[in-house]
Amino acid sequence: MWVVVLVTLMFGGVNGELVTVGGNAGWNQGINYTYWVSQQTFYIGEWLLFRFDKNYFDVLEVNQTSYEHCNSENFIANITKGGRDVFQLTEARPYYFITSKGYCWGGMKLAIDVKNLPPPPAPPPQENYAVGQSMYAGSMNVMPVLVLAISVFVILFG
């Protein structure tokens, strides 16, 4: 169990993050989701968390036309389960979500554009690469592996 948590923390990165739709307000009336989306960037692999009262609201994935017209009849997927529902963003494309029962017309709809994962940061420049390579090659490459091995050993046998 601890090994899984450790590996997830080390290699999780952007992929797999949980994004709560609407922030602290959740999936609710009176939220400007267009503004909220403008403050976010969404990537493949992330999960959307919709928090809402399932007695009043639901979450439907729809196409763009249904989104624009608040039409819940031909939805793509009903992701409503219990009011704490998650949806994984698996493709770089636009996604559209609405709630039915008339609440969409009050603004409970969400359109996001999912992007591919950002490229990893470029390595820092090295002035004298030949000297640095010969002096530190062994110790610099082994250190992260050694720290991970010690951490796993302590968790399992400590």
Q: Which of 112, 110, 108 is nearest to 30 (CA)?
A: 108
> pLDDT per residue over 76-101, tens digit each?
999 999 999 999 999 999 999 999 98
Calculated CA dihedral for residues 111, 116, 117, 121, nearest 10 degrees: -120
Domain total in the chain: 2
Q: pTM for this one?
A: 0.67
Give a yes or no: residue 121 inside a domain.
no
Give a yes or no: residue 57 inside a domain.
yes
Give a yes or no: residue 155 inside a domain.
yes
Range of the domain at 106: 12-115
Residues belonging to the chain: 158
Are 136 and 91 in the same domain?
no
Q: Which of 69, 19, 21 is nearest to 44 (CA)?
A: 19
Q: What angle do CA 100, 15, 87 make, to 5 degrees?
A: 15
Give a yes or no: residue 144 inside a domain.
yes
Q: Look up the CATH number of the domain holding residue 104.
A: 2.60.40.420
> pLDDT per residue over 117-143, tens digit each?
877 787 888 776 555 554 444 444 545
Q: Which DSSP letter does residue 120 get?
A: P
Percentage of residues of the chain with pLDDT beyond 90: 63
